[in-house]
Amino acid sequence: MLAVLSPLMDDNEILKALPKAEQHIHIVGSTRPETLLWLVEDSGVDVPYKTLEDVERFFQYRNFTHFIEVYSAVNDCICDEVQFERIAYEMLESDAECNVRYVETSFSAPDHVRRGLDYGRMLDAINRGVRRAKRDFRIDCQLRIDLVRNYGPERGMEVLDWIEGKGDNIVAIDIGGSEGGFPPEPYELVYRRARDMGLHLVAHAGEVAGPESIWGAVRHLGVEHIGHGVSARWDSKLMDYLRDEGITIEACPVSNVRTGVVSSIQEHPIREFCERGISVTVNSDDPSMFRTDMNNEYLQLHRELGFTVPELFQLSLNAVDSSFLPERRKGRLRRTFIKEYGSLAYDAESFK
């Protein structure tokens, strides 16, 4: 049954008002342009951009490889652990402005330890930002540690040592980085150990590599979520497997357009995945670097791929249902979402 929506709100207002959860957002990729300039000044780093306009031009990407180069350059501007408090706080402030209530965010700790920063102090700073945001905006956030596949499984094991020593607010591991040259299979023992530690398992896969990358992540790493997963569209058996095994695809449509992974939102496979019965969520990935946010992601799906308000709300519920929250908290959040949706539409009963 189609939703009967409030006649006092247009589609843009309804999409903004939908309660949301986000599963795939990188802390560094959420660094606001003005905050990047603050980092440059605070750290005394010599960079070619001096104004907000310069940063906007800097955040233009020729392809995925170029994006990784820009991302690494932003990493170089973070020279003090305490700077992460502001970045994390502002990330959650921006999500809260999109009515996001729960976030699982990715922190690429090895990138910064190799630059001389201390893991424990960085984690403390991030969690200070998380606590402040919860107090100020009533948004909850848990952390995923990105092992960064480029550094190899030996460093991955070392990162697990860090987590065992200090794992405050950490619920999962992931492997991001340069997927094309670093397949998932070598991380099998790392992921096995992480599972034994009680951590949830995620992997970036199928973003710039083919379906074989996703197969490697699900067969060898035992992942529960796939970040991006775009190339699954080319393998019907893989899509069936993801559906049957309940493996969630964390879709990042605007990101995939900005890095040239897909040519346009209209060409993004998120609709195919939903129609196939796969658990799919929508996410902003690196929102500041891609000039997007969760409201824009929902709006693009609505305008360009014809997602209805009920379909977009189902994506919100997918993000709650597949989150790494404890079951009791997950149930409470789901009921809250449905209650709020009921104030926007009269078909909330269909989501119970």
Each domain of the chain, given as residue ranges in start order, spans 11-33+81-345
Taken in order 261, 267, 272, 274, the sign of the CA dihedral is: positive
Q: Pick the catalytic residue: 22, 85, 90, 207?
A: 207
Residue 281 backbone dihedrals phi, psi, to 5 degrees: -125, 160
104 is catalytic: no
- pTM of the prediction? 0.93
Question: In sequence order, which residues have a C-beta less than 8 Å from that of residue 315 and are 6 or more positions away?
Answer: 274, 280, 281, 282, 298, 301, 307
Both structure tokens of 52: 């907000």
pLDDT of 11 reads 76
pLDDT of 63 reads 86
Question: In sequence order, which residues have a C-beta less than 8 Å from that of residue 178 and are 6 or more positions away?
Answer: 65, 68, 149, 150
Q: Whole-angstrom Cα distance, residue 204 to residue 137?
A: 29
Both structure tokens of 87: 């970045």
CB atoms within 10 A of CB 97: 14
Q: Whole-angstrom Cα distance, residue 297 to residue 287?
A: 10
DSSP conformation letters of 11-78: HHHHHHHS-EEEEEEESGGG--HHHHHHHHHHHT---S--SHHHHHHHT--SSHHHHHHHHHHHHTT-
pLDDT of 317 reads 98
DSSP conformation letters of 63-126: SHHHHHHHHHHHHTT--STTHHHHHHHHHHHHHHHTTEEEEEEEE-HHHHHTTT--HHHHHHHH
Homologous superfamily in CATH for domain 11-33+81-345 = Metal-dependent hydrolases (3.20.20.140)
DSSP conformation letters of 132-180: HHHHHH--EEEEEEE--GGGHHHHHHHHHHHHHH--TTEEEEE--S-GG
One pLDDT digit (tens) per residue for the chain, 352 residues = 344 445 546 778 889 999 999 999 999 999 999 999 999 998 888 888 889 898 888 888 888 888 888 888 899 999 999 999 999 999 999 999 999 999 999 999 999 999 999 999 999 999 999 999 999 999 999 999 999 999 999 999 999 999 999 999 999 999 999 998 999 999 999 999 999 999 999 999 999 999 999 999 999 999 999 999 999 999 999 999 999 999 999 999 999 999 999 999 999 999 999 999 999 999 999 999 999 999 999 999 999 999 999 999 999 999 999 999 999 999 999 999 999 998 886 465 666 6
pLDDT of 3 reads 47
